Amino acid sequence: MKKILSILLSVLFLSGAAFCASGKTDILTLFSTKSNADNKIWVGTFQLVFNDMKNNIIKHNIEFVKEKQTKDLKGLNSEEFTSEMLNPSSYYTSYGETSIEAKEEIKKAIKEKFNETSDILDSMDWTKGLGKYYAYAMLKKEFEFLNEFDKLENSKFNNSKEEYEYFGIGNDSDKVLDDNLAVLFYDGKDDYAVRLYTKNDDIVYLYRTDKNDSFDKLFEKMQKQSKKFKGNRFFLAQDTVKIPNLNIKSERKYKELCNKQIKGTDIMFSDAIETIQLQLDNKGGKVKSEAAIMTKMCALPAVDPKEKPRNFDFDKTFVMFLIDKGKTQPYLALRVKDLKDLTK
């Protein structure tokens, strides 16, 4: 009887659903974020826009006034993921002052580079204004398997009532499909992993496990088990593989980062959003993800009844200094006590 490698993607499986923190698909902030959600997904797009906002707009780590840094915010500031971890052909980024022209330039760029349109740009305020900046990113990937896998019979997933579409290699599949993958390890009927080969530069790993650790821990464990594995890494004639079709479309708004004054500035995030689309079938896969952060000026602080009003009225004797930009010595100084001969 054939050894069955039923690759059930219990971490990612979903047939298209919106983000819900306690529900179907939890979009995680970081590769290292801990979450007990049954279905969770992470992509590096939001980190790309956070990096640009931190390094090119704010110019220092992003912390909020009167708030301690959360683990996720510390992780974002440490830049766990950067653009150097991507092929330049896979992503597009832009940042600067908001304007309708900037939005149209982004639309033109993603159309030329990816033949894509944006799902989020028109939903944000691009009018110019004091303290209004943006950082935007799109990640787009498409890959094809070396050979098209066979479409398999519909079947259940995790003892579900519904049946779902699957693809893979069955008992009667052409032997050429064996070249589509290699075994990382097989440590029992519920603990195994494979690598799927593509015609592109992309590598697809599938890891069957019930553990619900953070993604960085799961990836580390998979690699360790692969190094220890002493069995046959070739996909053999008696082996089979079964993978569910995926069609995920999710969105997350990072409300916890918005409407809080950023230390050392007079601005705050007005919008912080990330979208993820993932499709997987017997031919290959597609990934499209967008992220954006927008800023605005902080609202004027409320009057503190404990503080006396301060009136900065220069209607009595005062002194003025003028200093050239980049210099420390004033090039003009003025003292005014009598305006009689100074305003004509």
**Strands 192-196, 91-97: pairing kind:** unpaired
Torsion angle of the four alpha carbons 64, 28, 222, 149, in this order, in degrees rounded to the nearest 10: -150
Of the two residues 30 and 301, the one the predictor is more confident about is: 30
pLDDT value of position 2: 47
| Predicted confidence (pLDDT) at residue 263 exceeds the cutoff of 50 | yes
pLDDT digits (tens, 9 = 90+) for 141-168: 999 999 999 999 998 998 888 989 999 9
Q: Which residue has the tokens 């992470």?
A: 42
Percentage of the chain surpassing pLDDT 70?
A: 85
pTM of the model: 0.83
End-to-end Cα distance, the chain: 103
| Predicted confidence (pLDDT) at residue 9 exceeds the cutoff of 50 | no
Q: Of 220, 312, 297, 229, nearest to 259 (Cα)?
A: 297
Residues in the chain: 344
Domain boundaries, the chain: 3-7+149-244, 26-144+246-297
Residue type, 212: N
CA 175 from centre of chain: 38
326: left (phi over 0), alpha (psi -120 to 50) or beta: left
pLDDT digits (tens, 9 = 90+) for 173-205: 999 999 999 999 999 888 999 989 999 878 899
CA distance 274 to 43: 9
Find the mean pLDDT for residues 94-123.
97
Percentage of the chain surpassing pLDDT 90?
A: 68
| Predicted confidence (pLDDT) at residue 86 exceeds the cutoff of 70 | yes
Angle at 328 between CA 322 and CA 329, to 5 degrees: 60
**Strands 91-97, 133-144: pairing kind:** antiparallel
In contact, 271 and 294? CB cutoff 8 Å: yes
pLDDT value of position 26: 86
In contact, 232 and 245? CB cutoff 8 Å: no
Burial 244-267 (b: 16+ CB within 10 A, else e): bbbbbbbbbebeebbebbbeebeb
